[in-house]
């Protein structure tokens, strides 16, 4: 469980909790009870809590102020209808797959362009699988032709997101699950998308293997684990654009691992180790210091 | 077929269809000839159309706050409903279909974002630590709120949107996201602080433009 400072608990107190439970001395959720002690020690926090509560109320009022397009329902239903032939095809494949999973498999999403393709009326309910399969193949073929024809004009909207320290904190535990797998590591270093020297010039240690993270070259992990270094991985993250070189900075993690990131102005690096942060400091070559 | 046989067959079909007959009226219209575990395409279409009618507004608003613009919100929502159309047969309890749909939307959003991400490394913590000036009146409008939300990391944005828009407590969010309570508390607390800080910054910019 990540630790949270007592003062940060103020952020979690809702307007209703402040106005009712807190003000009237009623029981708060156990996690928030310590706020009463905090206020006893620092009465000036009451002002801040009152302000936060008022501000929370404003946010609550504004959050739903979004106009919903009038024809949205029609468009959604149309998309569902247009996808029916392909859904029928997928139905054949999915008969035995009936477990409810939270992790939705987006591979099952019909490609967007396919949905817009006119494939005629949907086959009636419970027609033969053969007929459904035929429609699905026709739809898929039409989609492919359409997609190829339009591909030069496509320009996928860039959803540019800033990778920041908070996001890195979220990503490191995800990366760790792959890093700790013994399979998937490549020992032929010449095949790595980056020369090992890119890491070895900055970190004391020898790269012994590498792997992709998430199955693509956007994130490459170099393994520098050794009896001296303990478990040590340095990740090279492909970035669309780096604003500047940044010095090493610790990433707040819960659990047994330490991590930090830095950039050389061209690449973003993330070091993850099972050693303490102090020890990580010793593996960096000068002038890069923790 | 005698009455007993017929009743037994109905029980088996109920089990196969996985949807309690007494809960979901749609099941009554299902063809009993479909002796399969998965719902048929037509059955799923009927159900999904009902879910579109019932929930499209709240889901669209949810998508909008996550994505920050109308066209992407609609794209994500369409994708999510298509996935739901494929998988709706897996929902064992129709009463939970709404929260399941929100999960599908969240997952679709995250996958879309991660697929298209171009990473730009910046240090958001600088603004995170700014303390809003409480002496100033804070007028929040929908547009400035969105600007502030867009600046949050996706996982923080999801937590804060679930909290304010779906009015979920941190405990409920932890249950929905299936992550530890402490993680959600930390994430939500930081997200709210960052959001207020960002709103304060945009307010200052707004004031100076005036």
Could you give the ipTM of this predicted complex?
0.73
Examine residue A72 and state whether it is found in any structural domain, yes or no: no
Residue A18 has a pLDDT of 79
Residue of B18, B36, B41, B142 to mutate when probing chain A, most A C-beta within 10 A? B41
**List of residues 6+ apart from A132 with CB closer than 8 A:** A85, A88, A89, A91, A92, A123
Between chain A and chain B, the number of residue pairs with CB atoms below 8 A apart is 249
| B113 burial via Cβ count (<10 Å: 0-12, 13-18, 19+) | middle
For residue B6, tell me if it sits in a domain. no
A147 with A169, same domain: the answer is: no
Backbone angles phi, psi at A242, to 5 degrees: -110, 135
Domain identity same for A112 and A17: no
Contact B118, A237 (CB under 8 A): no
Are residues B204 and B159 both part of a single domain?
yes
- Point out the least confidently predicted range of A34-48, A107-121, B3-17, B82-96: A107-121
A30 touches chain B (CB under 8 A): no
Q: State which of A131, A153, A175 marks the end of a domain.
A: A153
Residue B2 forms part of a structural domain: no
**Is residue A125 domain-shared with residue A233, that is, in the same domain?**
no
Same domain flag for A188 and A258: yes
Tell me which residue range forms the domain holding B191: 125-209
Does B71 share its domain with B94?
yes
- Give the domain extent around A58: 6-63
User: Is residue A88 one of the residues assigned to a domain?
Assistant: yes
Instruction: Please check whether residue A76 lies inside any domain of the structure.
Output: no
Does B122 or A278 have the greater pLDDT score?
Answer: A278
User: What is the predicted pLDDT for the residue at A239?
Assistant: 66
Q: Which residues contact A103 (CB under 8 A, 6 or more apart)?
A: B107
Examine residue A75 and state whether it is found in any structural domain, yes or no: no
Pairing of strands A232-237, A216-223: antiparallel
| Residue A289 falls inside a structural domain | no
Which residues of chain A lie closer than 8 angstroms to B108, CB-CB? Answer: 104, 106
Range with the lowest mean pLDDT among A19-28, A196-205, A254-263, B174-183?
A: A19-28
Instruction: Give the minimum alpha-carbon distance from A228 to chain B in angstroms, rounded to a whole number.
Output: 31
Of B31, B48, B61, the CB nearest to A68: B61
Number of structural domains (chain A) is 3
Residues A53 and A120 in one domain: no
Helix H or strand E encompassing A99: none
Range 140-159 of A in CB contact (< 8 A) with B: 156-159
Q: Please indicate, yes or no, whether residues B93 and B112 belong to a single structural domain of this protein.
A: yes
| CB atoms near residue B69 (< 10 Å) | 14
Alpha helices in A161-242, H assignment, sequence order: 165-179, 197-200
Reading the block at residue B9, the tokens are 């067959």
The tokens describing A154, both together, are 């496509």
More confident residue, B168 or A46: B168
Q: Do B134 and B165 belong to one domain? A: yes
d(CA B210, CA B206): 6
| Confidence at residue B145, expressed as pLDDT on a 0 to 100 scale | 92
Instruction: Name the domain boundary from B81, B98, B116.
Output: B116
Q: At what angle do helices A45-63 and B142-150 cross, to 10 degrees?
A: 100
Residue that finishes a domain, picked among B65, B91, B116: B116
Residue A70, in any domain of the structure: no
Please give the mean pLDDT across all residues of chain A.
72
* Same structural domain, A107 and A183: no
The residue among A55, A143, A217, A252 with the most chain B CBs within 10 A of its CB, best to mutate, is A55
CB contact under 8 A, A166 and B196: no
The 8 Å CB, 24+ separation contacts for B103-106 are B103/A102, B103/A104, B103/B176, B104/A104, B104/B80, B105/B59, B105/B62, B105/B63, B105/B66, B105/B76, B105/B77, B105/B80, B106/B66, B106/B158
Q: Tell me which of B49, B81, B116 is where a domain ends.
A: B116
* Same domain for B194 and B167: yes
Residue B108 sits in a domain of what CATH number? 1.10.1740.10
State whether B153 and A167 contact (CB < 8 Å): yes
Q: Between B83, B141, B161, which is nearest A109 by CB?
A: B83
What pLDDT, in 10s, does the model give residues A127-148? 455 566 667 777 777 767 666 6
How far CA A84 is from CA of B29, B39, B117, in Å, comes to 19, 13, 31
B91 plus B158 within the same structural domain: no
Which percentage of chain A shows pLDDT scores above 90? Answer: 9
Q: Do B158 and B192 fall within a single domain?
A: yes
Higher pLDDT residue, B67 or A84? B67
The answer to whether position B34 is within a domain reads: yes
User: Three-state SS across B30-64?
Assistant: CCCCCCCCCCCHHHHHHHHHHHHHHHHHHHHHHHH
Q: Give yes or no for residue A126 having a pLDDT over 60.
A: no
Identify each DSSP E strand in A57-215 by its residue range: 160-163, 209-213
Q: Residue A66: what pLDDT?
A: 93
Residue A84: per-residue pLDDT: 73
Residues A55 and A86 in one domain: no
Are the beta carbons of B182 and A1 separated by less than 8 Å? yes
| Residue of A91, A100, A104 lying closest to B92 (CB–CB) | A100
Whether the predicted pLDDT of A195 surpasses 70: yes
Residues of B in contact with A64 (CB under 8 A): 61, 165
- Whether residues A183 and A229 share a domain: the answer is yes
Indicate which CATH number applies to the domain containing B150: 1.10.10.10
pLDDT at A153 (0 to 100): 46
Those residues whose C-beta lies under 8 Å from the C-beta of residue A178, and which sit 6 or more positions away, are A184, A211, A213, A214, A221
Number of compact structural domains in chain B = 2
CA distance A227 to chain B (A): 32
For chain B, 210 residues long, give each residue's pLDDT as a single digit of tens: 455 555 444 443 333 333 333 333 333 333 333 333 467 778 888 889 999 999 999 999 999 999 999 999 999 999 999 999 888 887 888 888 998 999 999 989 988 877 666 555 554 444 445 555 555 556 788 998 999 999 888 888 999 999 999 989 989 999 888 888 888 888 898 888 888 888 876 555 555 555
Residues B109, B189 within the same domain = no
- As a whole number, mean pLDDT of residues A88-95 equals 51
Lowest mean pLDDT among A32-41, A45-54, B29-38, B95-104: B29-38
**CB–CB of B119 and A240 under 8 A?**
yes
Cα–Cα distance for residue pair B106/A1, rounded to 1 Å: 23
3-state helix, strand, coil in chain B (%, to 5): 70, 0, 25
Are the Cβ atoms of B123 and A100 closer than 8 angstroms? no
Q: In the predicted model, is pLDDT for residue A222 greater than 90?
A: yes
Q: Which pLDDT belongs to residue B70?
A: 93
- List the single residue in A84, A96, A104 with the smallest CB-CB distance to B83: A104
């Amino acid at each position: 469980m990540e630790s949270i400072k007592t003062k940060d608990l103020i952020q979690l107190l809702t307007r209703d909790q402040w106005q009712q439970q807190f003000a009237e001395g009623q029981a708060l959720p156990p996690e928030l009870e310590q706020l009463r002690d905090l206020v006893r020690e620092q009465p000036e926090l009451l002002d801040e809590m009152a302000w936060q509560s008022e501000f929370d109320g404003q946010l609550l009022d504004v959050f739903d102020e979004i106009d919903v397009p009038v024809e949205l329902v029609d468009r959604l239903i149309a998309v569902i209808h247009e996808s029916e032939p392909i859904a029928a095809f997928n139905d054949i494949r999915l008969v035995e797959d009936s477990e409810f999973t939270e992790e939705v498999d987006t591979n099952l999403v019909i490609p967007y362009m396919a949905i817009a393709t006119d494939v005629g009326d949907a086959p009636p309910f419970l027609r033969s699988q053969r007929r459904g399969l035929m429609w699905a193949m026709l739809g898929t073929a039409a989609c492919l032709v359409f997609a190829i024809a339009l591909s030069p004009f496509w320009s996928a909207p860039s959803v540019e997101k800033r990778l920041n320290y908070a996001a890195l904190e979220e990503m490191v535990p995800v990366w760790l699950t792959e890093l700790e797998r013994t399979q998937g590591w490549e020992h032929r270093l010449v095949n790595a998308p980056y020369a090992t020297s890119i890491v070895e010039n900055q970190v004391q240690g020898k790269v012994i293997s590498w792997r992709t993270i998430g199955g693509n070259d956007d994130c490459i992990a170099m393994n520098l684990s050794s009896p001296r270094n303990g478990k040590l991985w340095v990740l090279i993250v492909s970035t669309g654009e780096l604003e500047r070189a940044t010095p090493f900075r610790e990433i707040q993690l819960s659990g047994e691992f330490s991590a930090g990131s830095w950039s050389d102005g061209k690449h973003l690096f993330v070091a993850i180790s099972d050693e303490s942060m102090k020890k990580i400091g010793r593996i960096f070559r000068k002038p890069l210091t923790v | 077929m005698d009455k007993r046989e017929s009743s037994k067959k109905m029980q088996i079909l109920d089990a196969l269809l996985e949807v309690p007959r007494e809960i979901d009226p749609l099941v009554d219209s299902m063809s009993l000839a479909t002796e399969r575990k998965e719902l048929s395409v037509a059955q799923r279409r009927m159900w999904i159309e009902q879910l579109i009618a019932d929930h499209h507004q709240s889901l669209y608003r949810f998508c909008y706050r996550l994505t920050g613009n109308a066209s992407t919100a609609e794209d994500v929502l369409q994708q999510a409903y298509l996935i739901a159309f494929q998988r709706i047969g897996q929902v064992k309890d129709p009463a939970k279909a709404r929260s399941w749909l929100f999960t599908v939307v969240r997952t679709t959003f995250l996958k879309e974002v991660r697929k298209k991400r171009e990473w730009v490394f910046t240090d958001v913590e600088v603004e995170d630590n700014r303390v809003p000036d409480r002496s100033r009146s804070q007028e929040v409008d929908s547009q400035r709120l969105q600007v502030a939300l867009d600046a949050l990391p996706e996982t923080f944005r999801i937590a804060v949107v679930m909290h304010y828009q779906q009015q979920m407590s941190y405990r409920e969010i932890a249950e929905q996201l299936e992550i530890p309570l402490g993680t959600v508390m930390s994430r939500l607390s930081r997200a709210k602080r960052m959001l207020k800080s960002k709103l304060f910054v945009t307010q200052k910019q707004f004031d100076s433009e005036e």
